[in-house]
Amino acid sequence: MAGEGKARSEDLNLCFEKLMMLAFGGGKSGSSEGGVKMEGAVITEWKDIPVELLLRIVSLVDDRTVIMASGVCSGWRDAICMGLTHLCLSWCKNNMNNLVLSLAPKFTKLQTLVLRQDKPQLEDHAVETIASYCHDLQDLDLSKSFKLSDLSLYALAHGCPNLTKLNISGCTAFSDAGLEFLTEFCRKLKILNLCGCVKGATDRALQGIGRNCSQLQSLNLGWCENVGDVGVMSLAFGCPDLRTLDLCGCVCITGIFKFGDDFLAFHKIGCKVQISLSYHVGSETLRNNPILRILYGVA
């Protein structure tokens, strides 16, 4: 494995050079014997860079380079792991699960983590690792994670109570019981994307959201075929800050809800919500209905 060690060393050297170019325009100006002069000090090695400068530099490069930089030396690793709050791994096309397992125990100060996938890679134990170490997480994107089960929701409920934004669109294996459990602990949610969560987004889950997530501002229920009148009414009375509600394809919402007095509930409690009903059966008729005109703010 000497070849692998040499290749890794070369990669780290390239990473160092790239960061130096960002910081000092190539490292040539003000150089002294191959080093970079900065306020009386000469930077010749990785360890010479002040922590504050290092964090400013890594904020300018892509996340793949940030991860490489964290392996340069122990000082860089500690600084980056403690200072990094935003990370996106969507560029990882084949080995995201193992990458998450490796990084989550190190990057414990993350507040935003984007794990959007083109093909399903993440498994429950990766999300459980995130929940075990990243307790400050506020914004999490797990969209298209088809392999995840309710175990992931249970882990997030216990480990990430500060979540304000969660995208689990396309996560078809989640159940309504799992979602209901999540809302009992993650009560700060403001933006929730459940588009395509057919098994999870039911009236039971929406009742849990209405009961526990009073700060919710945006909810996407697109193509959640099991959403009905009871669930949406729970949102109306339990989420007074709701501003955006996507009900595209929610075919179980009945005519009683659409045209009855109960549909005024959003308006009566002062909830000025923008409702999307595109592609819904009878959507044109609904848009011309006086009640909907109130909800849409049309005179």
199: pLDDT strictly greater than 50: yes
User: In this structure, which amino acid lies at residue 242?
Assistant: L
Contact indicator for 223, 195 with CB cutoff of 8 Å? yes
Evaluate whether 216 touches 186 at the Cβ level (below 8 Å).
no
pLDDT in tens, 38-77: 444 555 666 677 888 888 888 888 999 999 888 888 888 9
Q: For residues 280 and 299, give the distance between their C-alpha atoms in angstroms, rounded to a whole number.
A: 23
Interval 79-102 mean pLDDT = 95
pLDDT at position 216 is: 97
Radius of gyration of the chain (CA): 24
- 45: which DSSP letter? S
When pLDDT is averaged across residues 187-192 and rounded to a whole number, the result is 98
| Residue showing tokens 């989640």 | 174
- How much is the pLDDT for 32? 39
